[in-house]
Amino acid sequence: MPEIWAGVDIGKTHHHAVVIDADGERLLSRRVLNDETELLELIGDVLAISTDALWAIDLNQGGASLLIGLLLSHGQPLAYLTGLAVHRASATYKGEGKTDAKDAFVIADQARVRRDLGLLRPGDEIAVDLRTLTTRRLDAVFDR
């Protein structure tokens, strides 16, 4: 069982990440741009808390592609919760209505308590495609 869980509410231009421990205590809560530099900094900050982390996201395509590619290239375990599952679970948590921070907390907490979540694996077709796209993007950046 992981020591910490990092839930990320995925957006097109930015994401919100929340990290919790085994008791569900919030250790980190931060909004980050959907930008390689900021996402790498987030990954580093989470791993500084503990290298035994389980990441969880609510989208597995589109705006999540860069984060997925970076996490998989860093060997990080990554679980996927459907948006519908997050929406339904969110109704059982107290607090104000829908916010990115609340959704990220719900994603992290659901990853902590549920045992039925599928992991995205590096050998998965989507993971291979994302790694290829990330590598091509890095090549384009370095060629500038």
Q: Which domains does the chain have, with CATH numbers?
A: 4-142 (3.30.420.10)
Element (DSSP H or E) covering residue 16 = strand 14-21
The one-letter code for the residue type at 7 is: G
Q: Which residues pair with 33 in a beta bridge?
A: 14
Task: Supply the pTM of this predicted model.
Answer: 0.82
Is-contact 108 16, C-beta < 8 A? no
Is-contact 108 20, C-beta < 8 A? yes
Task: For tokens 């205590």, name the residue.
Answer: 25
pLDDT tens string, the chain, 144 residues long: the values are 899 999 999 999 999 999 999 999 999 999 999 999 999 999 999 999 999 999 999 988 888 999 999 999 999 999 999 888 888 888 888 876 779 999 999 999 999 999 888 888 766 666 667 766 777 777 777 777
Q: What share of the chain is helix, strand, coil (3-state, %, to 5)?
A: 45, 20, 30
